[in-house]
Structures are given as structure tokens and as C-alpha cells.
Amino acid sequence: MKVRILGTRGSLPSTNPQTHRYGGNTACIEVTNDDQLFILDAGTGVLKIEDETTTFQNRYDILLTHLHIDHIQGLGFFKPLFNPKNEVHIWGPASSSRSLQNRLNRYLSPPLFPVHFRELPCEKVLHEISRSSFSIANLQVEAEYINHPGPTVGYRITNGESVFTYLPDHEPFLGNRGWNLGKRWISGMGLAYKADILIHDSQYTSTEYPTKIGWGHSSIEQAIRFASEAEAKKLLLFHHDPNHTDEQLEYIYQSYAGFKSDELEVELAIEGSVFNLR
Amino acid sequence: MRAYEIELILSRQLAECLSIPVFLTDTGGTLLFYNEPAEEILGRRYEETGEMPVEEWSIIFKPLDDSGSPMDPEDLPLVQTLNNCLPAHGSFWIESLKGENHKISVTSFPIMGRGNRFLGATAIFWKIK
């Protein structure tokens, strides 16, 4: 299983010379395993994925964590959607009242977008998920609702040997007095438990977080504490704030050196980086 | 390891923030949590009881009618909610683990998560005598 990071930024694309190193594209991850490809979120990073139908047998799977704009902004520019030979499966969290198609239509229609979702020439298959387990080729996927405003799921993906967990927008600390409740009472913990690689929200510094409580994001300190509690092996700090430059991110990262442990490797997620799992 | 559903996690977190007694169960009636104000009425800290099946807590926290007779668990609002997924309300006496009798009023409601999934029930209650 190969994990390629195509977009690391949260909230708003911020591609400029000051964000060049860690990247300015919004959330998108490519996962490949043998001849299977799927994509986690369709932020602006999704533009880097080409239509390689011969490699991937005309099937693409996009797993959306939620429908905030930074996670679907690139969807209308996803090249395989414009090839009638392709079958594109879009997986996303069920809402209490509106269908996934209805919610996607709100973005993929005028006046926000010139082309209606229904007019895209590929074959489109929508899947509404909640607390779900399903297989895509030989990968097993688990999804659960996690703590973030609006219907939002996280994903745990395994090929039987390695575990990759993706929680890009997540505020497990909200209203949580501490970590002594037991792991089962922490949002997202079942998905992240003993993951080989955990991508987790870390948008804010500890100084910024108190003014943004309930916005659905975590501080870097909280992300490290969550990953430690989950006994993850590697944490990739993700969903970089659009206001944080490369220089600031590195300064912030260094200031959290004391929170790290020997059991947990912590890195800032870098756009373009690739991780190979067994 | 599976975490509880997010709706249950948030219900517990809300309960911990409230000054009104709250009692939380899963769909089978197993006690998952009660908050500090509930501890005062029930007579024991949650940390001492932990999770508990309905058959156990409905006897330990002795519900009594106005004549002082033990109530059938099926008559408890929370158990009714668990049985029919509808809100329920009632008043009765409860004998706490400290041996104190309190008349309480209880309102219970089902926790219906996204996709209309039944995930458990919450009871809020307060002393009326």
C-alpha cells in the first residue's frame, strides 16, 4: 500500500513562496495498492491525479470525509470524471436529511460551478456511509462518524498487514475533560488504534486553539496526545492553517518537541511526500 | 478496539457539563454513564459502579411507587424509551445506595443518530421531594 500526500492545507488553498515546502493545496491523499487506486478527499490536491484508465481499470474511488469546501473544492476538476469510459465511485457521510447527491449538487451546479454534477460524462456511483465497513478490491475500509461540525467520518484502511488512518478534520478534545475516560470514549480512537500511519488534524497552536473551540479542529499538542493514546506508530500533522508559513510551521513543530515520545514518530505532512506500507 | 458512536461520546460529554442529573444507556439498557449531579441522588460515584446491565441497575437504584412498593422495571420511563424508542416521562421514588429516599421526576428520550440509527437513551431527572 502506497500513500501519496497531494494536499496538506486546511480551510483554504494557500500556494505561495512562503508555503512551498509543506504545500498549499487542500486535503487530498492518494492510496494505491496493486492495481487499485483510491482517493481520500477531493481538495485542490486532487488536480494532480491523471486519468490513467489502463492502470486502474477505469475505476476510481473517492472517499470523502465530509463536504466542507476544502475537501471537495477539486472535485469538479478531477480529470477521470470527464472520461465516459470511467466509473467513479464517491463515498461520503450520510446526513440526517439530505442525500449525498443533493449535497454535492449544491457545489457542483451554478452559480458556484458551471457544470451540473449530473452532466459529468463518467458513470457516477454514490455511496452513503456511516459507521461502515466495506472492501474496495483487497483493501478493507472502516468508517465512523467523528467529532467535527456536520456529518464527518474518518477512515481506517488496511491491506491485512498495515493500517493507515485518516482523520484530517477532528476535534476529539471538545468538551472532554481529560483522557481518563477510557479509549472507547474518545472520538476517532477506534479508527486510529495502533495505526502504522495516522494523518491527523493539527491546524492550531495551543495559543490559537482556545479562541477556536468547537470549530472542529485540533492543536498540534492535542494531535500528539491523541496519537499517543491511540498507540499509533507515526503521526503526520495535517490540515495546516492557511495563515501558517513554512517558517512558522517549523518553529511551531520544534516547540512541541517535548511532547513527543520514543514510541511515536511525529512529522509535519509535506505535500508530495510518499509513504510505502507493507 | 471500537470506540462508542460519536453521538454517545458527545452525549456523555454534554452530561458532564450539565448541573442537572443525567443517566445514559446503550440500546440494551446497559448503563454507560451518569454525571456528578446524578451521583448525589443515586448515592454512589460513577467511578465506583462503572457500566452495568439494566437488570442490575434497575434493582440497585431501587425505584418505588408512592406506596413504597418496588416498581416493575418496565414501568420506568427509561426502560419504556428503550423498548419503544419514544420519549417518556414519570415520577416515582428512588432509594439510593445510601438508603435515602428521594421522589424524582424523570424524562427520557432515545438517542437517534444520523441515518435514524437508535444508539441508546438518555434520562434526565430531578428531585421533587
Distance from CA of A85 to the nearest CA of B (A): 33
Q: Which of B4, B14, B117 sits opposite A175 (nearest CB)?
A: B14
Give the residue from chain A lying closest to B14, CA to CA: A175
| pLDDT of the residue at A56 | 65
Contact call for residues A127 and A99 (beta carbons, < 8 A) = no
Q: Residue B3: pLDDT above 80?
A: yes
Q: What is the pLDDT of residues A96-123, one digit of tens each?
A: 889 999 999 999 999 999 999 999 999 9
Say whether A96 and B7 touch across the interface (CB within 8 A).
Answer: no
Predicted confidence band at B56 (pLDDT cuts at 50, 70, 90)? Answer: confident
| pLDDT of the residue at B58 | 81
Say whether A130 and B6 touch across the interface (CB within 8 A).
Answer: no
User: Computed from CA positions of residues A5, A9, A12, A16, in that sequence, does the dihedral angle turn out positive or negative?
Assistant: negative
Q: Residue A211: pLDDT above 70?
A: yes
Count CB neighbours of A56 within 10 A.
Answer: 18
Dig out the grid coordinates for A262 from the structure. 520514543
Per mean pLDDT, which range of A15-19, B19-23, B46-50, B57-61 is the poorest?
Answer: B57-61
Distance from CA of B61 to the nearest CA of A (A): 23
Q: What is the pLDDT of residues A218-262, one digit of tens each?
A: 999 999 999 999 999 999 999 999 999 999 999 999 988 776 678
User: For B6-127, which CATH superfamily applies?
Assistant: PAS domain (3.30.450.20)
Say whether A185 and B115 touch across the interface (CB within 8 A).
Answer: no
β-bridge partners, B64:
B70, B93
Say whether B6 and A93 touch across the interface (CB within 8 A).
Answer: no
Percentages helix, strand, coil for chain A, rounded to the nearest 5? 25, 30, 45
Domain count, chain A: 1
Residue A100 belongs to domain with CATH number = 3.60.15.10
| Arithmetic mean of pLDDT, A196-203 | 98
* Run of H or E including A220: helix A220-230
Query: Where in chain B are the domains?
Result: 6-127
Contact call for residues A240 and A219 (beta carbons, < 8 A) = no
Instruction: Note whether A187 contacts B: Cβ–Cβ < 8 A.
Output: yes
Q: Which of B3, B13, B16 sits opposite A183 (nearest CB)?
A: B3
Decide which of A174 and A129 is more confident.
A129
Question: Counting one residue from A and one from B, how many pairs have CB atoms under 8 Å apart?
Answer: 59
Strands A265-268 and A234-238: parallel
- Taking contacts as CB-CB distances below 8 angstroms, the residues of chain B near A185 are 3-4, 9, 12
Distance from CA of A176 to the nearest CA of B (A): 6
Mean pLDDT of chain A: 93
Q: Which of A174, A177, A190 sits opposite B3 (nearest CB)?
A: A190
DSSP characters for A133-146?
EEEETTEEEEEEE-
Dig out the grid coordinates for B89 from the structure. 416521562
pTM: 0.91
| pLDDT of the residue at A9 | 98
Predicted confidence band at B22 (pLDDT cuts at 50, 70, 90)? Answer: very high
Percentage of chain A exceeding pLDDT 70: 97
Contact call for residues A124 and A147 (beta carbons, < 8 A) = no
| Arithmetic mean of pLDDT, B119-125 | 97
Instruction: Note whether B10 contacts A: Cβ–Cβ < 8 A.
Output: yes
* Run of H or E including A33: strand A28-33
Q: Residue A153: pLDDT above 80?
A: yes
Q: Residue A52: pLDDT above 80?
A: no
Q: What is the pLDDT of residues B62-98, one digit of tens each?
A: 899 999 999 988 899 999 999 999 999 999 999 888 8
Instruction: Tell me the backbone φ, ψ of residue B55, rounded to 5 degrees.
Output: -60, -30
Strands A59-63 and A87-93: parallel
User: Computed from CA positions of residues B82, A95, A8, A83, in that sequence, does the dihedral angle turn out positive or negative?
Assistant: positive
First to last CA, chain A: 6
| pLDDT of the residue at B21 | 96
Q: Which domain holds residue A65?
A: 2-276
Q: Residue A181: pLDDT above 80?
A: no
Q: Residue B103: pLDDT above 90?
A: yes
Count CB neighbours of B47 within 10 A.
Answer: 8
β-bridge partners, B45:
none
Predicted confidence band at B100 (pLDDT cuts at 50, 70, 90)? Answer: confident
Predicted confidence band at A36 (pLDDT cuts at 50, 70, 90)? Answer: confident
| pLDDT of the residue at A179 | 65
| pLDDT of the residue at A158 | 96
Q: Which parts of chain B are beta strand (E)?
A: 22-26, 31-34, 62-64, 88-95, 101-113, 117-127
User: Distance (Å, rounded) from C-alpha A118 to C-alpha A85?
Assistant: 16
Give the residue from chain B lying closest to A193, CA to CA: B1
Say whether A187 and B6 touch across the interface (CB within 8 A).
Answer: yes
- Taking contacts as CB-CB distances below 8 angstroms, the residues of chain A near B9 are 147, 185-187
Distance from CA of A102 to the nearest CA of B (A): 15
Chain A neighbours among B 101-120 (CB < 8 Å)?
Answer: 113-117
| pLDDT of the residue at B95 | 87
Q: Residue B129: pLDDT above 80?
A: no
Q: Residue A54: pLDDT above 60?
A: no
